[in-house]
Amino acid sequence: MKRHEALVQLSRDHHFGLLLCWKLKEGMKKDVETSRMEKYIHLFYHHNLKPHFAEEEDHYFEILGLEHPLILQAIEEHKIFEIMIKRGFTDYDEISKFRNLLEKHIRTEEREIFQEIQEKATDDQLENLLKLDAVAHREPEYEDEFWK
């Protein structure tokens, strides 16, 4: 999908989120200890997801309006991720639920929310988004590459 330049960085962030989903799937296939994956989930959440969610909520979602059904769903899922992080991950089922929700969440944003933002945003709104100092959220440094 062709992305407006104002949404490109958020789409790149989503790539790293999907990569997290893949890493967790690989870790579970390899019977990696839950605690090893949990450490990476927490690091990734605080380094990437939490600031990414804040950026979306503070600047991007308002284009469609905070009462828009997809925006309400996305914000609710952001809250669910935070709850999951606070509770921690003690087994594969909890990690799997996090992974599945994150993948679904990213795909919904990419296929539906961002597409609708592109279609409905005014030129001024898109220009204002371009003026933001968008942070490039990358993968955090992490030595325990449990997915390999």
Domain boundaries defined on the chain:
10-131
Assess contact for 49 and 17: CB atoms under 8 A.
Answer: yes
Q: Structure pTM?
A: 0.92
pLDDT per residue over 62-100, tens digit each?
Answer: 999 999 999 999 999 999 999 999 999 999 999 999 999
Assess contact for 43 and 33: CB atoms under 8 A.
Answer: no
CA of residue 22 relative to chain centroid, distance: 13
d(CA 140, CA 19): 12
d(CA 98, CA 91): 11
